[in-house]
Structure 1
Amino acid sequence: MCQARLELCQRAQVLRHRAEVKCLHLLGFTQCLSSPNNSQCFFYNKKYQKKQDKPQLLIAATEEQVRSVDVVQQSKNIGVAEREHDIKDPVELEIARQTLTFLNMEDAVTKPKPHVKIAQEDGSCPAVERIPDLQGALPQATLLIQNLQEGEVHAVHPELGPGGSWKPNDCQARDKIAVIIPYRDRQTHLTRLIDFLIPILQRQRLDFRFIVTEQYGNDLFNKGRIMNAAFIFAESLGVDCVVFHDVDMFPQDDRNPYSCPPGPRHLGAFVSNLGYQLWYKEIVGGVLAVSMADYRAVNGYSNQFWAWGGEDDDMGQRILSLNYTIERPNPETGRYSMLKHVKRKRTAPKLIYKLLGNSANRVAYDGLNETDKWTIRKVTTRPLYYHLYVDVGPVPEEWRAKA
């Protein structure tokens, strides 16, 4: 029960501006999980903080009160009605409404779902499209949570092993995957993404772990090199395939399969900020699943793109040049929300377009086989992910001059 309330507290934190949520865990997360009567969520009006030491409590949402229609109605009055005067973005307002709907947790708290037999006759897990307990369309309210801490996520998911690893216990996983997340300066996005993906990958009955690959130092970014380094590390873990996943991409439906594909699969094809349109055939950015053999066949990502832009389009051209078909999900189930962030312009567009003009010709010599282009300086095994620090070498002068 406490875990359900912890999730309620986390999800409800999106009520900002005049109405906010504080979760008080009187004995801390670990003890709370074993002592379910010591956690409450309090809704309070932020403006009272400046007038008195203790905020005026408007709602104390305990396990019993969460199921009360009055609580839901009051929270709507406090949350949505007042937020409508503060928020102009209709998408953000809809996310707030979804969050308030989540407050009616009667089914989640008091009516556990009946056990569904998952394993097939041979004990293996079914293909993702045949798993009966997927949810379909996913609420996007959690995207507004700020400052979610790694310790909070791990407390809610104590079942995870080192590096955020997990495998199902009700069937034999078909696929062992590694989710590779290229990272720089977006800690709040990273924690939210992992928190969001964990239950999806668990429902899909995948044997998974997370690898966060970060460039050492603050020089011009080289995404291709840190991806290649992470792939080499993933090979050492014995995975069947990798899913390259941008830190700001959140799936809108758990029927979009993160399992190992027969050929390169562009999961992140239909994205909110692109109007859910597929703009050109080579696009593979955002979220890309690929088997270990196929990644080696295309020689991984190019090592020659610096700063921002170009390496994903180059990868798409590599894939097509070797006569692969880029698989994409159903446009309805394959949608993603992209978190808002500061857009970075392409640093050297002329250099990028020149490289893209001969992508197919560089496959043989520019990529994964150039292991001297990067060095993994440090690997840290954290509760939620493996953290790689990758030295990508010196920046070529022609790129630095354009920076």
Structure 2
Amino acid sequence: MKRCIKSEYNIGIINLQVNNGAMSLLSPRLLKVLLLLVLAFIILQYSYTTIFEARRIDPLFIVNSSLLARNQFFFMKNRSNYAINKNSVSWTSDGAQMTNALLVDATASQNLASQQTYSSNELCPLIPPNLLGPIKPEKDAPATLEELEHELEAIGALPPSDGQWRPSYCKARDRVAIIIPYRDRAHHLNIFLKNIHPFLQRQQIDYGIFVIEQAGYGMFNRAMLMNVGFVEALKFREFDCFIFHDVDLLPEDDRNLYTCPDQPRHMSVAVDSMKYRLPYSDLFGGVSAMTKSQFELVNGFSNMYWGWGGEDDDMAARLKSVGLHISRYPNNIARYTMLSHRKEKANPKRFEILYSGRKRIKEDGLNSLQYRRLSLIRNRSLTWVLVELAVPS
């Protein structure tokens, strides 16, 4: 009996040794398989998260590589109607060549419009069909506004009047006012206008451009000028979306739609001067979009920020206080080029004012705005409003 037990015990040891040997032979192969499975899972999870976040940010974010491929095909098909400058070519991240949208001449613009099969009463498509995707902004522009408007007219991108344009072949889904706080930046303004008009027209947006200039030489109040722009734009017509735009930022991708989603949107997520990185999560400066109702809900911007800095963080805090959150496109879409410029003098009290910002929402903003309009100029490329701001005692 004891011998049998011992024999069984010895056989068990032999089996165990054999199994361990098999495991040792298979372990490198199993390890490779397991690593490949883990990598595949990570890639799938990342892809799903990216798509999910994009759709969560904005339901209009459905544009993809097939859209760019379709536009490349259209360009090749109609290349005889384009004035191609070999020195003005930009590239997509995957190496596909894209012509600069600003080089489309008047004939090409007419052909783009004739491609549409929509009536003037039918809503424009949810995805604008003529988007190019990544583009290279033009950093040169004529010295005068008159020369610039002549150049815009030559490429078929000059609005009929007052800096306002709408598609004639379909009904735009959005009525957008572009508000630009401004002082002493004439060359930057011309560069901005040269880039932004073709950009917005490819997006089939009903838009108007309002340049709000601060008179005098006192401390610059960007936030107060944006409040003025909101009030003055609504004197012209009913806009439902407002985009507050620094004059020195040029968009690099026309898939960055200049519209207002359900939540306020920070547009200038990735700027070249910041190495295309978002400095902090609550940033709301540079270019931002809000609906009329959202802007009124937070009583506009604070009027207390004289000098550089603070007003955008104040607005971010206002949005949070009423239950809104900041939405963004991915940084490969919301990309901008910043024109070089001299920095404004910083507001030494900005942090102190920011600290008490939420307490002042109801009495500091649109309802406390005081200014005097000194001049109004209506050019075909923009509406220009010169104002004198009331300086607090």
**TM norm. shorter chain > 0.5:** yes
Query: In the superposition, relative to structure 1, how do residues 146 and 176 fare at CA in structure 2: closer, same or farther (>3 Å)?
Result: closer
- Runs (4+) off by over 6 Å: 105-114
Hey, what's the Cα distance between the residues in 1 that align with 2:264 and 2:118? 27
- SS of 1:378's equivalent in the other structure is strand
For residue 207 of structure 1, what is the aligned residue in structure 2?
A: 206
For residue 233 of structure 1, what is the aligned residue in structure 2?
A: 232
Structure 1 residue 147 displacement after superposition: 4.2
Contact 1:234 1:242 in 2 (8 A): no
- SS of 2:243's equivalent in the other structure is strand
2:382 equivalent among 374, 385, 388: 385
Structure 1 residue 199 displacement after superposition: 0.7
- SS of 2:273's equivalent in the other structure is helix
- SS of 1:278's equivalent in the other structure is coil
Hey, what's the Cα distance between the residues in 1 that align with 2:270 and 2:170? 31
Contact 2:141 2:148 in 1 (8 A): no
Hey, what's the Cα distance between the residues in 2 that align with 1:165 and 1:107? 20
Hey, what's the Cα distance between the residues in 2 that align with 1:294 and 1:243? 12
Instruction: Tell me if 1:340 matches 2:337.
Output: no
2:215 partner amino acid: Y
For residue 375 of structure 1, what is the aligned residue in structure 2?
A: 372
Query: In the superposition, relative to structure 1, how do residues 108 and 296 fare at CA in structure 2: closer, same or farther (>3 Å)?
Result: closer
> Per-residue CA shift, 1:48-77, capped at 9, x if unaligned?
xxxxxxxxxxxxxxx9xx88xxx96xxx8x
Q: Identity across aligned pairs (percent)?
A: 34
1:210 partner amino acid: I
- SS of 2:219's equivalent in the other structure is coil
Structure 1 residue 383 displacement after superposition: 2.1
Deviates more, 1:258-267 or 1:149-158: 149-158
> How is 1:149-298 mapped onto 2 (pairs within 5 angstroms)?
149-158=144-153, 159-236=158-235, 237-298=237-298
Structure 1 residue 361 displacement after superposition: 1.3
Hey, what's the Cα distance between the residues in 1 that align with 2:172 and 2:307? 38
Query: In the superposition, relative to structure 1, how do residues 115 and 385 fare at CA in structure 2: closer, same or farther (>3 Å)?
Result: closer
For residue 34 of structure 1, what is the aligned residue in structure 2?
A: none
Hey, what's the Cα distance between the residues in 2 that align with 1:147 and 1:347? 34
Hey, what's the Cα distance between the residues in 2 that align with 1:226 and 1:279? 25
For residue 360 of structure 2, what is the aligned residue in structure 1?
A: 362
Q: Which structure has the greater CA radius of gyration?
A: 2
Contact 1:243 1:258 in 2 (8 A): yes
Structure 1 residue 109 displacement after superposition: 8.4
Structure 1 residue 243 displacement after superposition: 0.8
Hey, what's the Cα distance between the residues in 2 that align with 1:320 and 1:228? 19
- SS of 1:197's equivalent in the other structure is helix
User: TM-score with structure 2 length normalisation?
Assistant: 0.69
Query: In the superposition, relative to structure 1, how do residues 253 and 148 fare at CA in structure 2: closer, same or farther (>3 Å)?
Result: farther
Hey, what's the Cα distance between the residues in 1 that align with 2:262 and 2:196? 22
Hey, what's the Cα distance between the residues in 2 that align with 1:106 and 1:295? 36
Contact 2:175 2:241 in 1 (8 A): yes
Contact 1:260 1:290 in 2 (8 A): yes
Hey, what's the Cα distance between the residues in 2 that align with 1:251 and 1:327? 17
Structure 1 regions of 5+ residues with no counterpart?
A: 1-62, 80-90, 92-100, 397-403
Structure 1 residue 113 displacement after superposition: 6.2
Hey, what's the Cα distance between the residues in 2 that align with 1:231 and 1:106? 32
Query: In the superposition, relative to structure 1, how do residues 121 and 340 fare at CA in structure 2: closer, same or farther (>3 Å)?
Result: closer
> Per-residue CA shift, 1:9-63, capped at 9, x if unaligned?
xxxxxxxxxxxxxxxxxxxxxxxxxxxxxxxxxxxxxxxxxxxxxxxxxxxxxx9
Instruction: Tell me if 1:299 matches 2:299.
Output: yes
- SS of 1:315's equivalent in the other structure is helix
Contact 2:160 2:380 in 1 (8 A): yes
Structure 1 residue 118 displacement after superposition: 5.6
Structure 1 residue 344 displacement after superposition: 3.1
Hey, what's the Cα distance between the residues in 2 that align with 1:106 and 1:356? 45
Deviates more, 1:209-218 or 1:158-167: 158-167
Instruction: Tell me if 1:136 matches 2:136.
Output: no
Query: In the superposition, relative to structure 1, how do residues 333 and 388 fare at CA in structure 2: closer, same or farther (>3 Å)?
Result: same
Hey, what's the Cα distance between the residues in 1 that align with 2:384 and 2:319? 28
Structure 2 regions of 5+ residues with no counterpart?
A: 1-79, 91-98
User: TM-score with structure 1 length normalisation?
Assistant: 0.68
CA RMSD across the alignment: 3.4
Query: In the superposition, relative to structure 1, how do residues 394 and 131 fare at CA in structure 2: closer, same or farther (>3 Å)?
Result: closer
Hey, what's the Cα distance between the residues in 1 that align with 2:286 and 2:354? 18
